């Protein structure tokens, strides 16, 4: 599921892939040219997917030395991002506008750490780790290895039959 393109791990949403290391956005594997400001907005939104990214947070990141007249630049950059994603403010699939507050990325996102966890061969942790059962369970635990083996062996023994 994880692919390396331009020597970076890919974050996915919808039909898009983003490589933050090589600063590339792809749709169906085809590279889409995205200017730096819209790319930085996408990066912040994906990093905080599902959470509000305020206009002031975006201003601090994109225009750190500007205290006035960034509104038009921010609106333009968000609109460029939406155009490239095929998104709209009226019926968003990716970028939701929260009036006078900011934006929220609303589509499901597959981030590198989640993709790696999903590919783990064990549901209990990485290979070589030891499964430790919870000690807070209210179920009674077997007192010895013999009792534990008896229950498993009895259930799976070749001669057992259901009645």
Asked if 2 and 119 count as a contact pair (C-beta separation under 8 A), the reply is yes
SS3 sequence, 12-49?
A: EECCEEEECCCCEEEECCEEECCCHHHHHHHHHHHHCC
* Residue 145 placed within a domain: no
- Asked if the structure places residue 152 within a domain, the reply is no
Distance from C-alpha of 10 to C-alpha of 2, rounded to nearest angstrom: 6
The total number of structural domains in the chain stands at: 1
d(CA 76, CA 83): 10
Residue 94 counted as domain residue = yes
pLDDT, position 111: 86
pLDDT at 136 (0 to 100): 37
In a domain, 138, yes or no: no
Question: Is residue 85 within 8 Å of 38, Cβ to Cβ?
Answer: no
**pLDDT tens digit string along 96-147?**
999 989 999 999 999 876 544 454 443 333 433 333 333 333 344 444 444 4
Task: Name the pTM for this structure.
Answer: 0.65
Question: Is residue 88 domain-resident?
Answer: yes
Per the structure, the complete domain to which residue 18 belongs is given by 4-112
Task: Please report, for the domain that includes residue 72, its CATH number.
Answer: 1.10.10.10
Using DSSP's 3-state secondary structure scheme, residue 84 falls into: helix
**Res. 155 pLDDT band, cuts 50 70 90:** very low
Taking residue 96's Cβ as centre, other Cβ atoms within 10 Å add up to 16
Per the domain annotation, does 73 fall within a domain? Answer: yes
In a domain, 126, yes or no: no
- Residue 151: inside a domain, yes or no? no
């Amino acid at each position: 599921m994880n692919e390396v393109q331009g020597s970076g791990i890919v974050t996915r949403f919808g039909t898009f892939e983003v490589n933050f290391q090589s600063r590339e956005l792809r749709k169906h594997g085809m590279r889409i040219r995205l200017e730096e400001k819209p790319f930085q907005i996408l990066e912040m939104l994906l990093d905080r997917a599902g959470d509000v990214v305020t206009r002031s947070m975006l201003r601090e990141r994109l225009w750190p030395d500007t205290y006035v007249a960034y509104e038009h630049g921010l609106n333009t950059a968000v609109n460029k991002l939406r155009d490239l994603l095929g998104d709209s403010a009226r019926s968003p699939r990716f970028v939701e506008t929260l009036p006078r507050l900011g934006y929220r990325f609303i589509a499901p996102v597959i981030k590198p750490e989640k993709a790696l966890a999903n590919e783990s061969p064990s549901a209990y942790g990485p290979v070589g780790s030891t499964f430790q059962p919870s000690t807070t369970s209210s179920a009674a635990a077997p007192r010895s290895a013999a009792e534990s083996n008896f229950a498993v062996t009895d259930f799976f023994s070749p001669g057992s039959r259901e009645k």
